[in-house]
Structure 1
Amino acid sequence: MFKILARINKLILPSFSKQQLDLAKASKWQMAVIGFRYYVTTRALN
């Protein structure tokens, strides 16, 4: 399930690393997206 969700994340959610986002200046919704993507990615790898 998490592998499918990880693929959907890759297609839909923005990649902040490509935009070179500074985490200190990230807004709350950007931090939420980063956290969600991290959670799904780590679960997909297990």
Structure 2
Amino acid sequence: MKKKAFKVLAKINKAILPSYTKQRLDLSKASKIQMAIFGWKVYVTKNALD
């Protein structure tokens, strides 16, 4: 159940949140909100794949 919820959340993230890797964002120069979004997407993706 938990894994399925994370998979749905990952699809929502992909549709709504920006992709910083496609934008070639330098993480050392990213703002705090960009880092928070990036961290959230990593967390959701990690849990969706487990």
Give yes or no for TM over 0.5: yes
Q: Which runs of 5+ in 1 are unaligned?
A: none
Say what the alpha-carbon RMSD is for the aligned residues: 0.3
Residue 45 of structure 1: aligned partner: 49
Paired residues in the alignment total 46
Normalization by structure 1: what TM-score?
0.98
For residues 12-31 of structure 1, the C-alpha deviation after alignment (integer angstroms, 9 at most, x for no partner) is 00000010000000000000
Runs of 4+ in 1 over 2 A off after TM superposition: none
Normalising by structure 2, report the TM-score: 0.91
Q: Match for residue 32 of structure 1?
A: 36
Distance 1:13 1:3 in 2: 15
